[in-house]
Structure 1
Amino acid sequence: MKPVSIIVITLNEENRIGRLMEDLTKQSHREFEVIVVDSNSADATCEVASAFSESLPALTVHKMEERGVSLGRNTGASLAKHERLLFLDADVRLSSDFLTRAMSQLESKKLEVAGVYMGAKELPVVHKLGYGLFNLGLFSTQFFFPTAVGACIFSTQRVHKEIGGFDEQITLCEDCNYVKKASKTWRYRLLPLTFGFDPRRLDQDGLFAMGWTYLKANLRRFFFGEMRNNEMEYKFGHYKEQTPNCQ
Structure 2
Amino acid sequence: MDAVSIIVITLNEEKRIGRLMEDLSKQTHKEFEVILVDSNSDDATCEVAQAFEESLPHLVVHKMDTRGVSLGRNTGAALAKHERLLFLDADVRLERNFLAKALSELEDRQLEVAGVYMGAAGLPLVHKLGYGLFNLGLFVTQFVFPTAVGACIFSTRRVHQQLGGFDQEIVLCEDCDYVKRASKTWRFRFLKLTFGFDPRRLDQDGVFKMGTTYLKANVRRFFFGEMRNNEMEYKFGHYQ
Q: TM-score, normalised by structure 2?
A: 1.00
- Tell me the distance in 1 between the aligned counterparts of 2:233 and 2:85: 29
Residue 244 of structure 1 is matched in structure 2 by none
Spell out the pairing of 1:79-228 with structure 2 (5 A cutoff): 79-228=79-228
Q: SS where residue 40 of structure 2 aligns?
A: coil
Q: CA deviation at 1:239?
A: 1.1
Residue 39 of structure 2 is matched in structure 1 by 39
- Tell me the distance in 2 between the aligned counterparts of 1:237 and 1:201: 11
Residue 11 of structure 2 is matched in structure 1 by 11
Partner amino acid for 1:200? R
- Tell me the distance in 2 between the aligned counterparts of 1:142 and 1:210: 20
Q: CA deviation at 1:158?
A: 0.3
Q: SS where residue 213 of structure 1 aligns?
A: helix
Partner amino acid for 2:103? M
Residue 27 of structure 2 is matched in structure 1 by 27
- Tell me the distance in 1 between the aligned counterparts of 2:230 and 2:51: 36
Q: CA deviation at 1:118?
A: 0.1
Extract structure 1 runs of 4+ deviating beyond 4 A: none
- Tell me the distance in 2 between the aligned counterparts of 1:239 and 1:5: 26
Partner amino acid for 2:71? L
Aligned residues: 240
> Could you tell me the percent identity over the aligned residues?
80
- Tell me the distance in 1 between the aligned counterparts of 2:28 and 2:233: 41
Q: SS where residue 37 of structure 1 aligns?
A: strand
- Tell me the distance in 2 between the aligned counterparts of 1:193 and 1:175: 18
Partner amino acid for 2:112? E
- Tell me the distance in 2 between the aligned counterparts of 1:192 and 1:220: 28
Partner amino acid for 2:145? F
Q: CA deviation at 1:60?
A: 0.0
Q: SS where residue 166 of structure 1 aligns?
A: coil
Q: SS where residue 218 of structure 1 aligns?
A: helix
Q: CA deviation at 1:83?
A: 0.1
Q: SS where residue 129 of structure 1 aligns?
A: helix
Q: SS where residue 106 of structure 1 aligns?
A: helix
Partner amino acid for 1:4? V
- Tell me the distance in 1 between the aligned counterparts of 2:142 and 2:66: 32
- Tell me the distance in 2 between the aligned counterparts of 1:2 and 1:141: 28
- Tell me the distance in 2 between the aligned counterparts of 1:78 and 1:157: 9
Q: Which stretches in structure 2 are left out of the alignment for 5+ residues?
A: none
